[in-house]
Amino acid sequence: MFSDESTFCISFGNQGPRVWRKRGEAQNPRCLKSSVKFPQSVMVWGAMSSAGVGPLCFLRSKVYSAVYQEVLEHFMLPAADQLYGDADFIFQQDLAPAHSAKATSTWFKDHDFPVLNWPANSPDLNPIENLWGIVKKKMQYARPNNAEELKATLRATWALITPEQCHRLIDSMPRRIAAVIQAKGASTKY
């Protein structure tokens, strides 16, 4: 099971294509694009496996070890039941401080969940990063007016992710690893 957090902004559509204009069109309204200095945003935790996606958790505060353990208890455990039933699995998380804290490690040992050793600074390897990108792309034309509408749009878009999409992303792991090795740890197309 691959997991991670991501941030979604109400105005993430403002990060779209650049606008080209001709000389003298600097103030032409059709060449201007509004922007928001500090858009409302939500941070969300999610998990995926080749069987599909688990429930989303919207985070209300910075993720400390205690907060992360609550996420694991109330969202990862139900996701594991939903995606794996009684089958064994290995949990993946990055090395964010809340994930690698001693208290979090103890939580995993107490719950008897094996955690995949994960290299630092390696988002190219985690297929859920690509899944977040797919979700953001599907949401690019949505125009939520507030954080609650953004959450509703995100939930609806997340619900459309198919097990086949997840399976394809996870199936790319050997290619991801080979690309990172070939790039000697530098960034890759993934």
pLDDT, one tens digit for every residue, the chain (190 residues): 999 999 999 865 444 445 567 787 767 777 666 565 667 899 999 999 999 999 999 999 899 999 999 999 999 999 999 999 999 999 999 999 999 999 999 999 999 999 999 888 776 789 999 999 999 999 988 889 899 999 999 999 999 999 999 999 999 999 988 988 898 888 888 7
Classified as helix, coil or strand, 153 is helix
Model pLDDT, residue 20: 62
Closest by Cα among 8, 9, 7, 6 to 36: 9
Six token digits for residue 49: 């496996």
Six token digits for residue 50: 């080749």
Letter for the amino acid at 185? Answer: G
CA distances for 26 relative to 20, 30, 32, 145, angstroms: 10, 10, 8, 28
Model pLDDT, residue 16: 46
pTM for the model stands at 0.82
